[in-house]
Structure 1
Amino acid sequence: MSPQPGRGRWIVLFVEVVLLAVIAGAFLWTAFVGNRSAAVAVMPSPTPFTLVAPTVIPLTATDLETQIAAVYREAGPSVVNITSRSISYDFFFNPVPRQGSGSGFFYDTLGHIITNYHVIADADELQVTLADGRTLPAQIVGSDPSNDLAVIKVDLPASEIRPLPIGDSTQVYVGQFVLALGNPFGLERTLTFGIVSALGRVIESPNQRFIGEVIQSDVAINPGNSGGPLLDLSGRVIGVNSAILSPSGANAGIGFAISARTVQRVVPVLIREGRYPHPSLGVRVIELTPQRAALFERAGMRLPVTQGLLIAELINGGPAAQAGLRGPDRLVRVGNWNLPVGGDVIVAINGRSITTSQELLVYLETETQVGETVQVTFIRDGREQTLPVTLAELR
């Protein structure tokens, strides 16, 4: 019996629908798999992070906790509590005893301990409390208020000292896990944990100069943490905790640490010489701004630039004077101002643009040393010139 025409058409239509569904499904599957493969192929690799980071980042919370605990076990015995005592006198010349505390850590097996200058400043007596509870007298080996660093020393057998390794702070990156070990409010060997918040900060030093290359972190730092180490997850020192920014004087999540690069530059000199020589051009300058340039215009002196450092005074016999830079030749009264005029305007050092006195101090401090010759670019009579200047020690 021959098939019915209507039924055959339905069968053919059904087969066609099934075939179309199979073809469409295959197409979608291929597109999905292909796109997924392509996405995997172009996905950024995590390799750059592991190349930049000085440590291997744990993959799980448990791994991270284990690593933090390991750093505490290894670094804890190297961190000390420093107590400073001094005597001051009141209006009636009655002695008033004063006491302060801070933190420090062993730098070598000779008993040298790194801390902040402001921890030991004006101390008549220093005592160091070790991790095992022993208290030892300490002597100041060297100090540098301009970098807020100091080295003190205790007499202890080398076999009982575990120095902390100094890391490479140039490899530190924002977001990196860091730890602080110290003695906040006298609570010995307190560990706190956080991340690097920013790099290259500039803070004021105890002697009103500027400290560059400073590491900012959100690690909890409080009074007593000063001088303690800022550590990476491998237990290496990447900074020395020095200051906080806080309206209340307690932790507000903004802490600053002197970088390990600064430590490596300054500490060996403090141990060898007891002080650190700071390079200087031998000039006093005025920062030029458009507003200050307008003051000069009112005095009839139109400056060739509105940004830079106008030499207001040359130190007699100083590096800049010996090199041939020119200072002011007269003072002009404008309102309440006595403006020095006629001096050169410094605009760059070694090709690095310099527009503020802070930039000048930080550059000389972090990139140069006493006795080094730098190329100073300046504006004189509307023309840009460059002279070599050999830096001398700041006096």
Structure 2
Amino acid sequence: MESAAFRRPLRALTLPVLAGVLLAATAGCSSGGSSASVSSASATGSGATPAPSVSSDLQTQYEQTVAGVLPSVVQITAGDSLGSGIVYDNKGDIVTNAHVVGGATTFQVTLAGSSSPLAATLVYSYPANDLAVIKLTSPPPGLRPAVFADSSKVAVGQIVLAMGNPLGLSSSVTQGIVSAVGRTVSEPRTADSAGATIPNMVQTSAAINPGNSGGALVNLSNQIVGINTLAATDSGEGGGQAPGIGFAIPASTVTNLADQMIKDGKVVDSGRAALGISTRTVLADNSGSGAETGAGVVSVTAGGPAAKAGIQPGDVITKIGSTTVTSSVQLGEVLATLRPGQQVPVTYHQGTVTTATNVTLGTL
């Protein structure tokens, strides 16, 4: 199981890569509406470095993809926060990250190539997978819905472009490759978020910066591979951004959940397994109290899978199947690899008593 765990406030993750450890933070909505300071210069005279030779075929593909997809990528303003979104259909539905919309229900949306914002309202936000849909109040004619890829055909090494509005720089594009697929990423708990664990993420080397969240990760067939969501920062001294490590929610997940939000006004079948509990990390204190390291149960949903199995608030879950659970984040990562309806052995502690029981998993 590929996994990552967040440590930094806001949205950050710890990811073992090569010999080092990385932290990743959401590229996110929290650019505060500010814009980057940009300067430009041109080299002239005999000392100018000539432009490198570029394959005309590849350059043409890049230009065609930008021209074909960028009109489907929008800028979303939610209060004083700024993010990106993707036009989903010609009815005015737009998909983005849940952390872009935050707690807002009304938004200003600026289409690519436009300077006049349009009003939009919230359709539904699903923080468990960091996805949301908003809808333009008065959709203009000529909207350009994006085409979403088949996630099963996304392969490591594919060239991809990240499109969005980083640091307030509207309609920006960066390029890279698909670096990995199937990553499980856990966002941190914050005052505003319980922290999502998102499975099957697409990892990319394309640069993702604040304001890019909710934007498009695109292949050269003009298809959306995923929604840009996270960018890595180095856990070492200074904690600066670690270039070349970003994550996107896969296209098939986006379309599955967005279709439900638009049709039903909510997610009715996430396909994600759940125990029906809320938890926090518990660390053994060696005090003789019998406390164990694991995921401490804070609350139990009445009639849910855990309740039916006899798990109660105060219990500490230490193992799912044969996998040891040492934190609340790790519990979420294990559950992200399972499916609703599966029966799994759960080991938990009630004081000094260790109990193992089979639990039929429910739906997140």
The TM-score range, normalised by the shorter chain, is 0.5 to 0.7
With the length of structure 2 as denominator, give the TM-score of the two structures: 0.67
Question: CA, structure 1 residues 101+300, in 2 after alignment: closer, same or farther (shift >3 Å)?
Answer: closer
Equivalent residue in structure 2 for 1:196, among 173, 178, 200:
178
SS of equivalent to 2:263: helix
* 1:239 equivalent in structure 2: 226
Q: Which runs of 5+ in 1 are unaligned?
A: 1-59, 86-98, 329-339
Once residues 75 and 144 of structure 2 are traced to their aligned partners in structure 1, the CA distance between those partners, rounded to angstroms, is: 15
How many aligned positions are there? Answer: 294
- Identity percentage of aligned residues: 36
User: Relative to 1, partners in 2 of residues 1:361 and 1:345: Cα closer, same or farther, differing over 3 Å?
Assistant: closer
Please list every run of 5 or more consecutive structure 2 residues that lacks an aligned counterpart in the other structure: 1-53
Relative to structure 1, is the Cα distance of residues 118 and 181 closer, same or farther in structure 2, using a 3 angstrom cutoff? Answer: same
- Is residue 2:85 matched to residue 1:104? yes
Contact 1:113 1:153 in 2 (8 A): yes
Distance apart, 1:273 and its partner CA: 3.8
Q: Within 1, Cα distance between the matches of 2:309 and 2:254?
A: 34
Rounded Cα–Cα distance in structure 1 between residues aligned with 2:76 and 2:278: 38
Which structure is higher in strand share? 2
Spell out, residue by residue over 1:2-28, the C-alpha distance to the aligned partner (whole angstroms, 9 max, x if none): xxxxxxxxxxxxxxxxxxxxxxxxxxx
1:311–1:387 CA distance, 2 compared to 1 (3 A)? farther
Secondary structure of the structure 2 residue equivalent to 1:253: strand
Q: How does 1:52-201 map to 2 (within 5 A)?
A: 61-85=55-79, 99-123=80-104, 125-133=106-114, 134-155=116-137, 160-199=142-181, 200-201=183-184
Q: C-alpha separation between the residues in 2 aligned to 1:355 and 1:363?
A: 8
Instruction: Answer yes or no: is the 8 Å Cα contact 1:311–1:327 preserved in 2.
Output: no
* Residues 260-306 of structure 1: per-residue CA shift (max 9 Å, x gap): 23313322222234443675313466879xx95x949x5689x9xxx
Query: Which protein, 1 or 2, shows the higher relative CO under an 8 Å CA cutoff with sep ≥ 6?
Result: 2
After TM superposition, give the deviation of residue 162 of structure 1 in Å: 1.7
C-alpha distance in 1 between matches for 2:241 and 2:358: 48
Q: Deviations over 1:26-65 (max 9, x none)?
A: xxxxxxxxxxxxxxxxxxxxxxxxxxxxxxxxxx832221
1:329-383 deviations in whole A, cap 9, x for unaligned? xxxxxxxxxxx67x786432xxx84635435424545653xxx422021458999
Q: Which runs of structure 2 are paired with 1:319-330 in the superposition (5 Å)?
A: 319-327=304-312
Does the residue aligned with 2:66 lie in a helix, a strand or coil? helix
Amino acid of the structure 2 residue aligned with 1:355: V
Letter in 2 for 1:70: Q
- Determine the C-alpha separation between the residues in 2 that align with 1:197 and 1:203: 18
Q: 1:384 to 1:63 in 2, by over 3 A?
A: farther
Deviation digits for residues 167-218 of structure 1 (CA, Å, limit 9, x no counterpart): 1223323322111111122222111101122331413064323222222222
State whether residues 116 and 149 of structure 1, in contact with CA within 8 Å, keep that contact through their aligned partners in structure 2: yes
Q: 215, 238, 242: which one pairs with 1:228?
A: 215
* TM-aligned CA deviation for residue 222 of structure 1: 1.7
Indicate yes or no: 2:269 matched with 1:280: no
1:231-380 pair list within 5 angstroms: 231-246=218-233, 252-276=243-267, 280-283=274-277, 292=284, 295=286, 312=297, 315=300, 317-327=302-312, 346-348=319-321, 353=323, 355=325, 357-365=328-336, 367-368=338-339, 372-379=340-347
Q: Is the alpha carbon distance of 1:327 and 1:114 closer, same or farther for their aligned partners in structure 2, counting shifts above 3 Å? A: closer
